[in-house]
Amino acid sequence: MPVISAPGDFLVDDLYLDLRPVLGEPLYLKCEGFNFAGSVKLKAASAMIDDAERRGVLNADSVIVESSSGNLGVALSMIAASKGYHFLCVTDTRCNLATRRLMEAVGARVHIITEPDPEGGFLGARLDYVRQVCASDERSLWLNQYANAYGWIAHYRTTAPSIAEQFPDLDVLFVGAGTTGTLMGCARYFKESARPVTVVAVDSVGSVNFGGPPGPRMIPGLGSGVPSQLLDPSFVDDVVHVPEVKAIRALHRLAASGFLLGGSTGTVVSGALSWLAEHRPDEPCTAVAISPDLGERYLDSVYQSNWVGDIYGAHALDFDSVRSP
């Protein structure tokens, strides 16, 4: 039985769902949502805070400032609360209400951007506000998850080795692309280990991470309106772009079997199913996809039929549609 004294001390790193009975496809889902922050972002948050403390740039008077669509904000909120730091999360209107309330409940301040930048979207507007805060208050410390190497180092040291240990015969790994920290940490690890693993990035339609045209995105988490500074495409073998309505259908298929998972997970699972159907239709394959978070914070959005219908159309969750990836 684990006994802990800080929320960051508890981390489940070895739980996988076998999705063959649920979806009929040979896919294992690595569940990263079982910690006090509720997402994979706890790893990056812990690594970035530890680095800032080692370098002496974070002290009791500092105000940690970060842009986040939600999950990293929650992780930083909990770590800041446990260590006695001030934290300001800059998010936007797509952030789930439950996520905002959670951050505020543990003492964080939350600033919501309501208007997107004409070119950089909501992320561009959030980053502009972060820069303004840092320029106006010398106590501010921007960890900058979009350029901080510890965003991928955390996964190079933890997530990827855990997968490699559990699946020595791994053929394909599917990783969602947001800031691309998880993606780059895992991709670098497997490329440098010289294991014959195909690493597939799963991105949202409307994201510019891999050079696609910008477009509206309503599900927070994956995708970006500004190219990631962490991304090195040479480590990635293939990319799948998933429309949000297909991500939601995948989530509802999982929920119908009792697995309530987060918005980014729907994108990753849908992309994985599409890629496997095209590239490994009849070939035996050991495939793993990373699930970033759980679904409770999405009950008022992707799991709410009125919300889905208003944004994606009345037939988005038709019975036949829900059964397609």
Q: Give the domain-ending residue among 142, 171, 206.
A: 142
Is the domain of 69 the same as that of 17? no
Digit-coded pLDDT (tens) for 268-304: 999 999 999 999 988 889 999 999 999 999 999 999 9
Look at the chain and report how many structural domains it folds into.
2
Average pLDDT, stretch 9-34?
A: 94
Is the domain of 284 the same as that of 178? yes
Question: What pLDDT, on the 0 to 100 scale, is given for residue 321?
Answer: 46
Question: What pLDDT, on the 0 to 100 scale, is given for residue 199?
Answer: 98
Question: What pLDDT, on the 0 to 100 scale, is given for residue 2?
Answer: 80
Does the pLDDT value for residue 220 go beyond 70?
Answer: yes
Give the pLDDT band of residue 257 (cuts 50, 70, 90).
Answer: very high
Is the domain of 62 the same as that of 117? yes
Give the pLDDT band of residue 319 (cuts 50, 70, 90).
Answer: very low
Is the domain of 285 the same as that of 267? yes
Does the pLDDT value for residue 46 go beyond 80?
Answer: yes
Is the domain of 200 the same as that of 162? yes
pTM score above 0.85: yes
Q: Is residue 87 part of a domain?
A: yes
Is the domain of 85 the same as that of 107? yes
Range of the domain at 247: 7-35+151-322
Does the pLDDT value for residue 92 go beyond 80?
Answer: yes
Is the domain of 194 the same as that of 76? no
Q: Give the domain-ending residue among 120, 142, 164.
A: 142
Q: What's the chain look like in SS3?
A: CCCCCCHHHCCCCCCEEECHHHHCCCCEEEECCCCCCCECHHHHHHHHHHHHHHCCCCCCCCEEEEECCCHHHHHHHHHHHHHCCEEEEEEECCCCHHHHHHHHHCCCEEEEECCCECCCHHHHHHHHHHHHHHHHCCCEEECCCCCCCHHHHHHHHCHHHHHHHHCCCCCEEEEECCCCHHHHHHHHHHHHCCCCCEEEEEEECCCCCCCCCCCCCCCCCCCCCCCCCCCCHHHCCEEEEECHHHHHHHHHHHHCCCCCECHHHHHHHHHHHHHHHHHCCCCCCCEEEEECEECHHHCCCCCCHHHHHHHHCCCCCCHHHHCCC
Question: What pLDDT, on the 0 to 100 scale, is given for residue 222?
Answer: 86
Question: What pLDDT, on the 0 to 100 scale, is given for residue 140?
Answer: 96
For the domain that residue 118 is a member of, what is the CATH number? 3.40.50.1100
Catalytic residues: 41, 264
Is the domain of 155 the same as that of 31? yes
- Greater pLDDT, 316 or 236: 236
Digit-coded pLDDT (tens) for 99-131: 999 999 999 999 999 999 888 889 899 999 999
| pLDDT > 70 fraction of the chain, expressed in percent and rounded | 98
Question: What pLDDT, on the 0 to 100 scale, is given for residue 33?
Answer: 95
Question: What pLDDT, on the 0 to 100 scale, is given for residue 121?
Answer: 87
Digit-coded pLDDT (tens) for 131-189: 999 999 999 999 999 999 999 999 999 999 999 999 999 999 999 999 999 999 999 99
Question: What pLDDT, on the 0 to 100 scale, is given for residue 320?
Answer: 54
Does the pLDDT value for residue 235 go beyond 50?
Answer: yes
Is the domain of 30 the same as that of 86? no
Is the domain of 24 the same as that of 54? no
Q: Is residue 213 part of a domain?
A: yes
Is the domain of 205 the same as that of 125? no
Question: What pLDDT, on the 0 to 100 scale, is given for residue 230?
Answer: 95
Average pLDDT, stretch 34-61?
A: 96
- Mean pLDDT across the chain: 93
